[in-house]
Amino acid sequence: MVRILIDTASDLPKEYRDKHNIEWVHFPIAFDTETYLDQKDMSIVEFYDKIEETGIIPKTSQVTCEQFEPAIRKLLEKEDDQVLVITLSSTLSGTYNEAVRAKENIGSDRVYVLDSNLATIMIGELAVQAAEMAEKGASLEDIAKKLEVEKYKREAIFVLDTLEFLRKGGRVSFAQSVVGGLLNIKVILKYNNEGKIVPFEKAKGKKKALKIVLEYIKNNRVEGHRLLIAHAVNEEYVNEIKNAIETELGLKVDMIAEIGAVIGTHVGPGTIAISC
């Protein structure tokens, strides 16, 4: 049986991890001198609450080889088990290289490490695809071969509620962030199929942003893809988007997830991500 191992940057909800027996390893999150393991020592809500309480923008570091190795070995306990490791895109983190190191230390041909080329729930959805194939008896080789193609077919747009996190990350100036806040400008970024984050659009207010989201889905919907939404503690706006997708586009939202600390550190609370 092929077992799936992911990292917490995948933001895959517990219900899917439990249903498909998917395991994960935890990203370290540092608030100054305090370090926590994402979604183990600190929940998603606690993470955003701590940012609000302290005013600290935390830092993430890659999942290490020392974390991956025991997790992989545990999944190889049965002789007929194989392991597919799916990591956050190597364009965003060195986690993939750490997983490769772990595989090399183990020295088993029953392990395949996949660089997802993706972020947040797009990784989670890729893991669900893999698990569904495994449950139907597909081999590790067949699953890896399919996912190495599928990972380039996903893109997403991110609607940011604030420019402050981008400013502190050096992506926009202080003046831009102040003006954006005063004018209620929602910056929309695109995560493209090269694993890069690029400017996409700007919208004044949530209603205009919603129109852009619906237009994006309408023009970029890929038949057979699950329609995904992830959010950084912004459930009210997610429900508004979900209702609009269903009533105005006649489409079903297949998966809703919360954006955790790994991506949330960079995009900030209130962010919405949509992939279709």
**% residues pLDDT > 90 (the chain):** 84
Tokens linked to 168 = 């502190």
pLDDT band at 255 (very low <50, low <70, confident <90, very high): very high
Common-topology check for domains 2-27+62-150 and 156-275: no
119 in Cβ contact with 89 (< 8 Å)? yes
Q: Can you name the CATH fold of 156-275?
A: Hypothetical Protein Tm841; Chain: A;domain 3 (3.30.1180)
pLDDT of 176 higher than 60 = no
Mean pLDDT of 128-146: 98
pLDDT band at 183 (very low <50, low <70, confident <90, very high): low
pLDDT at 66: 98
Q: Give the model confidence (pLDDT) of 29-54 as tens digits.
A: 999 999 999 999 999 999 999 999 99
Taking the domains of the chain in order of start, what are their residue ranges? 2-27+62-150, 156-275
pLDDT at 57: 86
Looking at every residue in the chain, the average pLDDT score rounds to: 92
pLDDT of 166 higher than 70 = no
Q: Give the model confidence (pLDDT) of 84-129 as tens digits.
A: 999 999 999 999 999 999 999 999 999 999 999 999 999 999 999 9
pLDDT at 185: 80
Instruction: Give strand ranges (E) for 154-210.
Output: 156-160, 185-191, 197-204
pLDDT of 163 higher than 80 = no
**Helix or strand (DSSP H, E) at 71:** helix 65-75
Mean pLDDT of 181-204: 85
d(CA 7, CA 86): 7
Tokens linked to 100 = 């490769």
- 2-27+62-150 has which CATH code? 3.40.50.10440
pLDDT of 169 higher than 80 = no
